[in-house]
Structure 1
Amino acid sequence: MIPAGTAATPSARSMLLFGSLWSLRHYPTTSREWSWRRKLAAMRAEGFDGVFAPAHPALHDRGPLRYWAATSLGVAAEVAPAFAAAKELGALTVNVQLGDYDSPLAEMVKLASRVRAVARDFDLPFTIETHRDTCTETPEATFALIQGYRRKTGEALPLCLDHSHFAVIRHLKPDTFWERLREPAELLADCTRFHLRPFNGHHCQIPVLSATGRRTPEYRDWQNYAAALFHHLRTEPSADPVFVVPELGHDNPAYGLSCFGDTWHDVQTLTRDLRRLWRSSS
């Protein structure tokens, strides 16, 4: 699905795919969990450009995979250690889940400004992720943070968009995913970091494959949203690469239901589909 009113010529900008180690947490079961070595080998075998995960010493052995660091920050004292750990592992960038759902806005603007200062000290770009149970849980809260950050720093707040949480909050219908999630426009403006977890209006994670190995109807609906997002990104004037996490979680926290299929198989299918959708948006 291509959004109306966007006839610009698609750009040649690139997309980098980062596998999430959350997809392999306690996989295939807690008692038979794969080793770090096997997980990282699986990421390489799938052809990911990089890996997305919190800092861990095992990531030193990731081989040619790039590293996108993940962290959660609630107070200023946590910021520098988190960036130091990411830097030591050779991270390209740091993704931050900021505060809690009830954190006061003024405190979060101050904390985001602290993240900005530390990121510059370590020469590491950062993004603030839109995520449940953080200060960016809703579009309105995220927009308020953006405005407060701009007033304090004079700059745009770098975001990593995960639209799944917004979709659930709004209980969106499939045919309105892109129409509703592309607003407010300031959230999407110049955004180059995305967590793409298949969702619908009631579940922030849905199965990609059915028990018979076919793509589920709900996932096919979600693909229309992903295609529209990619078309938007390819028609922007920017040539900056887009970083994407095909994010399906396996356990801890468990976003899936007991009736869902194999997480890693879903990730593999999702990854192939995202590559195809990106190519077809050019």
Structure 2
Amino acid sequence: MEPQGEAYTIFAQSMDRTGYARGTLATREGLSAAVPPLDPRPLLTMEDMGMGGMGHDMAGMDHSQMGGMDNSGEMMSMDGADLPDSGTSSAPMDHSSMAGMDHSRMAGMPGMQSHPASETDNPLVDMQAMSVSPKLNDPGIGLRNNGRKVLTYADLKSRFEDPDGREPGRTIELHLTGHMEKFAWSFNGIKFSDAAPVLLKYGERLRITLINDTMMTHPIHLHGMWSDLEDENGNFMVRKHTIDVPPGTKRSYRVTADALGRWAYHCHLLYHMEMGMFREVRVEE
């Protein structure tokens, strides 16, 4: 955008829509532009949390533990179809009750996401996403169908081919986990103080797959090395420092372990990092 004389408002609102930051892009001092109203507060749907497309006919789910869930309104009519956008007519849920849902028997169902054993009966994990996808073209929670153009990862185009060119030799799968009421955050249900380092061999090309089992978006940053985002088919898309992982998504990227040493790997919401969503990555010969 190149200003033509008028002013433009740069507007950034908080996730809960309780406040905003405002800046002005102008060609001279003293110009200002209108400030838009805050958007409605977004509400997560089942699909947002990786539970979409599952229906309510799952024999493997222990529904007796779901007594605290608010199934009123349109939540009662879910049949696997696309749900309305967050902040519209989907009824809010009592998320605290999801800790009681028996997901263990669902992992073996066709199309259901598996989870590491470290998440099972873990007091630091209050939910698990069972139906995940990359959603690279999704504007995100509270940003869909709002009448504005919202840039997504699908809009990013690299100006160069995969700089490494090799196919990944192995895959490391990590789950982004947490407990909202305890404000505990971790990888695979294991907080940093209890976690072993992630070991990489110097020079190897590997794939890291992240699955978000929480109700919050996590921007994940690996220090010292690039993160080469992949599309749904495993093709190189674009090189990034940080990979944004919304709730209920599964995103993969390639890493070339070309920097010896000990590196930080963490959620860039720093209060999540401080509470345990942090790992040490060691690159060794």
Bigger fraction of residues in helix: 1
Q: TM-score range by the shorter chain?
A: under 0.3
Higher relative contact order (CA 8 A, sep 6+): 1
- What is the TM-score when the length of structure 1 is the normalising length? 0.25
- What is the TM-score when the length of structure 2 is the normalising length? 0.25
Bigger fraction of residues in strand: 2
